[in-house]
Structures are given as structure tokens and as C-alpha cells.
A and B are shown apart, each in its own frame.
Chain A
Amino acid sequence: GNSVTQMEGPVTLSEEAFLTINCTYTATGYPSLFWYVQYPGEGLQLLLKATKADDKGSNKGFEATYRKETTSFHLEKGSVQVSDSAVYFCALKLQGAQKLVFGQGTRLTINP
């Protein structure tokens, strides 16, 4: 079946540290890949996406590259801020399918 596995959280970093949140997927076809962010008390917001192999999604200093050979879509940021504290969800969607398949989420806390 189709599934997404994310790095176990919670992750705690200091401000200006480098961030990586790992995400790997299993899919029967060639999915589109997404990262969503959920700030405290809010719904999900799309952070970035990539629709085909070797595409790089980027937004707000975050980046993720669609790696077909390793079935991965790791989220990175060079220098995190306190305001980046949130829960991050990796997700996939197969072409023609209705459903977004989510990972379990990774809670990120950035300390000043």
C-alpha cells in the first residue's frame, strides 16, 4: 500500500541551527509529495510540494527534494527560528487519487 514514514519526534533545536526532518514513502505509482505545517492551535498549511523526481520544493527558507532513487523527501532549513516551532507533516498523493496520505507528523520546538 501507500504510506509515509517520518522521523520520530519531538525534535528540539536551538535558534539558527540546521534542520533536517526525514521523510520516506512507499507508493504504487509516482506520487506528488508535500510538506504541511501546523502551528499551535491552527489547521494545516501547505509549506512546499514537488510533483516529480528531482523537483525541489521551497518556501520560507525550507527546502525538500523529491528523490525517487531513495523514495525520500527530507525537509531542510539552514537556520531555524523560534517561529518555526510547529508540527510538520509529510504527505503523498497519487495521480488521480482523492486521498492525501500523511505521515505521523514531527513536532519541532526551537529554543531561543
Chain B
Amino acid sequence: SQTIHQWPATLVQPVGSPLSLECTVEGTSNPNLYWYRQAAGRGLQLLFYSVGIGQISSEVPQNLSASRPQDRQFILSSKKLLLSDSGFYLCAWRSGQVDGYTFGSGTRLTVV
């Protein structure tokens, strides 16, 4: 069966520090991968998606970047965090043939 792992679950980082959040998927190959962010009191916003290794599409301009170094690994990064980067970050995957997305358990990032 397919599983998605996201870590860490909780992170507190100072303003100006770097960020690296990792997401891996098991039990499938060539998944479409996504990073969403949920800011406090708001809905989910798609940040990045990837349809293959090294292929990254950005939905909104921001202080973050994403990379896909391996087929089932998706990394969200920042060189210097801002207070506004605080939020709940969710990784998701989807098989190209189906509509449904499977989400990870999320990382709650607080920038202080």
C-alpha cells in the first residue's frame, strides 16, 4: 500500500534561519507531488507541484523553493525564513490516473 511521510511534525525557527521540510512517498512510482500551506484561519494554498524528478512548478511567488531530487522525495526549502512563513505545511501525492490526493500529516512551522 502507498504511504506518505512528512517530517518534522513541529518546528520552531528564528527569523532569518534556513528551512528544509522533507516528504517521501512509498509504494508508488512517478507520483505527482504537491506542497500546500495552511495559514492560520485560512484555507489551503498550493505552493509547488512536481510531475517528475527535477520538474518543479511554482503557484505563487514567495520566499520558498522546492526540489525533487528523487522520484518519491519532495523537499520544501527556504534560505531565510520570514515571520509570514509560519503555517501548517502539507505534502500530498497523486497518481496521474486518479483525481484523489493523499496528504501527509503535516508540519506546523512557527517562525519567531
What is the interface of chain A, defined by CB distance below 8 A to chain B?
32, 34, 36, 42-46, 49, 51, 89, 93, 98-100, 102-105
Contact = CB atoms under 8 A, between A and B. Distances in A.
A75 to B, nearest CB: 15
B59 A99 contact: yes
Given A98-B51, A99-B59, A44 B90 contact: yes
Contact of A104 (B32, B43, B92, B102): B43
Contacts of A46: 100-102
18 contacts: A32-B99, A34-B99, A42-B105, A42-B106, A43-B103, A43-B106, A45-B103, A49-B100, A89-B44, A98-B57, A100-B44, A100-B101, A102-B43, A102-B44, A102-B45, A104-B42, A104-B43, A105-B43
Contacts of B104: 43
B49 interface: yes
A109 B59 CA distance: 33
Nearest to A94: B99
B9 to A, nearest CB: 9
Interface residues of B, number: 22
Q: Which of B44, B57, B100 neighbours the largest number of chain A CB atoms within 10 Å of its CB?
A: B44
Given A43-B105, A98-B49, A105-B42, 9 more contacts: A32-B99, A36-B103, A42-B106, A43-B90, A44-B44, A46-B100, A93-B99, A100-B101, A105-B44
B46 interface: yes
A92 B101 CA distance: 11
B76 to A, nearest CB: 15
Interface string B37-58: 0000011111001010000010
Contact of B43 (A32, A34, A89, A93): A89
A100 B98 CA distance: 13
A98 B107 CA distance: 22
